[in-house]
Amino acid sequence: MKETLYFGLRNKKVLGGALVILSLLVLGLVSPLFTDDDPRDFVGPTAQRPSGEYWFGTTMFGQDVFVMFANGLRASFAVGVVAGGIGALVGMAIGFVAGYRGGLVDELLNMLTNVVLVLPVFVVLIVISAYLGINSLLVQSVVIGLFNWPWVARAVRAQTLSLRTRDFVDLARLTGMRPMQIVRREIAPNMSSYLLLVFILSFGGAVLFAATLDFLGLGPANTVSLGWMLNEAVSWSAQTLGMWWWFVPPGAGIAAIVGAAYVMNVGLDEVFNPKLREK
């Protein structure tokens, strides 16, 4: 643990990615506490450039872009954590069971994984959003999470197949431990670093999926998110009108969250893998 922490604090990718994510998370959590304005309220002059009073300017309707941006960050992180967590947990459960049990169970779960994996997930999400409707962040998160697990299942299954033949697993079987106990106490702890990387990737993918759906107008209509801000900016021709401050912050926010998550993932891979550590 101390060795991992030592190399983690030395890795610039880990530190840089974590700093960006934590800074945006703090901004999203703290900023709304200092204003009573609803992000959709018309609070000032229309189409104002960024200034000391309106840090990110205002929309053509007089909405404070900074307040919208801060609330949008909270929505993005909420979807990322919930949807990414659901996708990771479902994928881990299926991957562990398939990899450890093998045989017919493995074949059936592997077939289910492959079926979901070859589905055009983005198209399916669009159809679900358009016809069933998504009226809250929780519903959106669950929908995204339920289609975000196949790659996790395949990755965890491959690792489990490798670990189940190790001596410490054979020893656990000899002591009479049940299969799920072996998975929980012996296999999963030996994959903890790998599972953390899986969750980070799942988190980033969920944020990007949610932002895309919101941008297309298929997200919760009563929630301010970064994707919704982009949708509003495009709908009201912000780019044509030269109101760059309306669409640049949410676009940069999405890119920063997803990019930082992937950079941190690469850095953690270097930390956990001795062969990749910087000398």
Section 194-222 average pLDDT: 89
Q: Contact, 112 vs 98, CB < 8 A?
A: no
In a domain, 40, yes or no: no
Domain containing 248 equals 13-28+53-276
Confidence of residue 177 (pLDDT cuts 50, 70, 90): confident
Section 86-108 average pLDDT: 92
Q: How many CB atoms lie within 10 A of CB 176?
A: 7
Can you give the pTM of this predicted structure?
0.88
In a domain, 67, yes or no: yes
| Share above pLDDT 90 across residues of the chain, in percent, rounded to a whole number | 43
Domain total of the chain? 1
**DSSP string over 26-40:** HHHHHGGGG----TT
What angle is formed at CA 44 by the lines to CA 38 and CA 46, rounded to 5 degrees?
Answer: 115
Using the predicted structure, report yes or no on whether residue 121 has a pLDDT greater than 70.
Answer: yes
| CATH classification at residue 131 | 1.10.3720.10
Neighbouring C-alpha atoms within 13 Å toward the C-beta of 217: 5
Confidence of residue 185 (pLDDT cuts 50, 70, 90): confident
Q: Which position has the higher pLDDT, 124 or 166?
A: 166
Using the predicted structure, report yes or no on whether residue 279 has a pLDDT greater than 60.
Answer: no
Specify the amino acid at residue 234: V
Using the predicted structure, report yes or no on whether residue 236 has a pLDDT greater than 80.
Answer: yes
Q: 241: which 2 tokens?
A: 């009108």
In a domain, 240, yes or no: yes
Q: How many CB atoms lie within 10 A of CB 8?
A: 16
In a domain, 38, yes or no: no
Specify the amino acid at residue 247: F
